[in-house]
Amino acid sequence: MDNGLYQVAGAMRAGEKRLDVIAHNLANVSTRGFKRATTFAHALHSGRSGTPQIVTGTSPDLSQGPLDTTGNPLDLALDGPGWFVVDDSSGRTYTRDGSFHVDDRGTLVTQDGEPLAWKGARGVLRPAGPPVNIDSTGLVRQGDATIGQLDIVDVDQPAKLAPAAGGRWTAPAGVQEIPAKAVVRQGNVERSNVESMDELVALVGLQRGFESAATMMRTIEQSYSRLNQPR
């Protein structure tokens, strides 16, 4: 088959992958702490024929989203690079969604009920106790009592983090935790870093790319038809 058809088909497959990513980003434009995905594509020559293949993949955009003030003392945002650590059923996972609450056992948990990790022993809060104060380092106090310090970390290879359930992230083998430079902002939450207008502009460009690829495919098909006509 003509290399042109391979290239056009590869471009259309890459466009389909990009469409899925844009749709996923737009669906999470209002998800707190969500990090948009980006796509990349590169051509490889594989097989004995050296036929070019377009390989597509995704990578996370971990840039910070805007901070919204809520006034809720259990809403926390990280200003700068870093992650809240969650002790869920799969081990240590990471999140930027700081919409937390205290369960009936006094545990500070995520929206889906997973406990946050602390430095040292896990802190216990009184649901009906005095106001909770959390400083810029994650040190938690309730009234005059010091409860403990939240475990807030960064990783040395953030681009290798993999998305997990609940909007959290996991670190594959070889990725190490390092001290975070982030500052905790109590009474704030981080919004998604998706800009809907940018995604819609990308969607328009993608549509035009599909149209160009479809036109090219029709042109190649017409060329083959003329070549195969009886003379």
pLDDT tens, 90-108? 789 999 999 999 999 999 9
Of residues 163 and 15, the one with the higher pLDDT is 163
Q: What pLDDT score does 206 carry?
A: 76
Per-residue pLDDT tens digits for 48-79: 555 556 667 788 899 999 999 999 999 999 99
Per-residue pLDDT tens digits for 175-196: 999 999 999 999 999 999 999 8
- Closest to 76 (Cα-Cα) out of 28, 136, 30: 136
Residue 123's Cβ-count burial label (10 Å; 0-12, 13-18, 19+) is buried
Q: What pLDDT score does 126 carry?
A: 94
**pLDDT band, very low/low/confident/very high, at 149 (cuts 50, 70, 90):** very high
The structure's pTM equals: 0.80
Of residues 35 and 19, the one with the higher pLDDT is 35
Per-residue pLDDT tens digits for 162-171: 998 888 999 9
HSE-CB for 17 with a 13 A CA cutoff? 17
Q: Which residues contact 180 (CB under 8 A, 6 or more apart)?
A: 78, 80, 81, 82, 83, 152, 153, 154
**Rounded percentage of the chain residues whose pLDDT exceeds 90:** 58
- Closest to 60 (Cα-Cα) out of 97, 34, 41: 34
**Domain boundaries along the sequence of the chain:** 3-62+193-227, 67-190
Query: Can you name the residues that pair with 5 across neighbouring β-strands?
Result: none
Chain position carrying tokens 């430079």: 181
DSSP line for 129-181? SSPEEE-TT-EEEETTEEEEEE-EEEES-GGG-EE-GGG-EE--TT--EEE--
3-state secondary structure of 120: coil
